[in-house]
Amino acid sequence: MNTKQIVLASRPKGSPTLDNFEIENIEVPEIQNGEVLLEGIYYSVDPYMRGRMNDAKSYSAPFEIDQAIQGGVIAKVLDSKSDNFKTGDIVAGTLPWKEKFAISEKSIKKIDTSIGPASYYLGVLGMTGLTAYFGLMNICKPKAGETIVISSAAGAVGVVVGQIAKIQGCRVIGIAGSDEKTELLKTEFGFDEAINYKTTKDITKAIATLCPDGVDIYFDNVGGEISDAVIANINFHARIALCGQISLYNSTEIPVGPRIQTMLLTRSVLMQGFIVSNFQNEFPEVIQHLSKWVKDGKLKFTETIENGFDQLPKALLGLFKGENIGKMIVKA
C-alpha cells in the first residue's frame, strides 16, 4: 500500500518557507501484533513546531531531516492486530504526518465524539484546552473581579483562556490582529474588550485606558512589544503565564527590549513559563472539567480548517501570519 508523508527537508533560517518541506510517496508496512493501521482525518499545526524545526535543545526533540514531521493527529483505524482497538475506532495521538501508517497501540487513545467533534481533541478537549487551563488556573490563579489581558487572544489557546477567565468572574481583555477577530472575541466568546494591535498606535495607552485599575493577570502567547506594553500596566502582585513567544520564534538575532526585571521586582509580580506536560498527572481530571463546560455551552471553540493533506506545510506557515481564528487544523 502506498501513501504520502511530509518530511522536514531542511532547517529554516529565520521564517520557514515551503522549501523546508517535502512530500514523499512511501510504502506502508504490514501491521504486526500490537499495532494498528491508521488513516489520518485531522492534523494539528501548532506554533511550538517551529522550535522543533531547529537543531537546538528544547523541551521537545528536534524534527529529524528527511523524516516525517510529527504532531497531534485524529485518525481512523483501518485494520487492527490489537486487542484494544477495532476497525472503525477514532483515535488521537502524537503521530507522523502520513496519510496512512502502522503504529503501536501504545501511541494512541480512543476519543469520545459524543462530547464534541473529533477535531476538538486537537483543540479545546486536547492539548490546547489543557494548556489554557493549567496556565490560567494553576499559575495565574484568577480571582473574581480581577482584570486579565490575553495576547493572541483569537488563537486556539487564547479563546479558551478568555472563556475560562469569564467563568471565574474576571474582566477579560483580548489582543488580536484584525477587526474581525476583536469583534468575534466580544460577540462570540464573551470578552469584555479587545484591541487590534495592528491598527492601534499606542498599545500601552490603549491597555491603560481599558484597564484603569491595572492588569492583574497577563496570559502571554506572543512576547515582544505587545508584552512590553502589557507589563507596563501590570499591577502589584500580578501573575504572568508565559505560554508562547510567537512574535520571536523566527528571529535570527536575540531581540532587545525593555528590561522588565525592575518592574517585576518592585511590584512583586510572579512570571512563570510552563509547558503543558508539567501537569500531565492532572490531565484526566481537567479534561472532565473542559468536557463539562463544552457540554453545558459555557466553553465555545472555533477552528480554521484547511482541506487536503498536502496543505499541512502551508497551514503551519499561516500561523505566523495570523491566518487562523481559533485552532488551525488540516482535514485530510
Answer whether 238's CB lies under 8 Å from 269's CB: yes
- In the numeric block, which cell numbers belong to residue 265? 521586582
Q: Please state whether beta strands 2-8 and 215-220 pair in parallel, antiparallel, or not at all (unpaired).
A: unpaired
Q: Which of 12-16, 71-75, 91-95, 234-238 has the lowest mean pLDDT?
A: 12-16
- In the numeric block, which cell numbers belong to residue 183? 469583534
Give pLDDT, residue 256. 81
**Closest by CA position to 243, among listed 138, 94, 126, 169:** 138
144-155: per-residue pLDDT in tens? 999 999 999 999
Question: pTM, whole model, 2 decimals?
Answer: 0.93
- In the numeric block, which cell numbers belong to residue 79? 485494520
Give pLDDT, residue 255. 79
Confidence grade of residue 74 (pLDDT, cut at 50, 70, 90): very high
Mean pLDDT, the chain, whole residue set: 96
Q: Give phi and psi for 110, each to the nearest 5.
A: -70, 150
Residue showing cell 531581540: 255
Name 123's Cβ contacts closer than 8 Å, sequence gap at least 6: 44, 129, 156, 301, 303, 326, 327, 329
Q: Please state whether beta strands 270-273 and 327-331 pair in parallel, antiparallel, or not at all (unpaired).
A: unpaired
Give pLDDT, residue 250. 80
DSSP H or E stretch at residue 94: strand 90-96
Confidence grade of residue 226 (pLDDT, cut at 50, 70, 90): very high
237-285: per-residue pLDDT in tens? 999 999 999 988 887 787 788 999 999 999 999 999 999 999 999 999 9
40-65: per-residue pLDDT in tens? 999 999 999 999 999 887 778 899 99
- Distance, CA of 79 to CA of 257 (rounded, Å): 54
280-331: per-residue pLDDT in tens? 999 999 999 999 999 999 999 999 999 999 999 999 999 999 999 999 999 9
Give pLDDT, residue 239. 98
Which residues are registered as beta bridge partners of 69?
A: none
pLDDT (mean) for 131-160: 98
Percent of the chain at pLDDT exceeding 90? 92
* The dihedral formed by the CA atoms of 86, 91, 95 and 97, expressed in degrees to the nearest 10: 90
Give pLDDT, residue 252. 76
- Distance, CA of 107 to CA of 130 (rounded, Å): 19
**Closest by CA position to 290, among listed 140, 175, 167:** 167
**Closest by CA position to 189, among listed 143, 150, 146:** 150
pLDDT (mean) for 158-187: 98
Residue showing cell 479558551: 160
Give pLDDT, residue 60. 80
- In the numeric block, which cell numbers belong to residue 150? 490575553
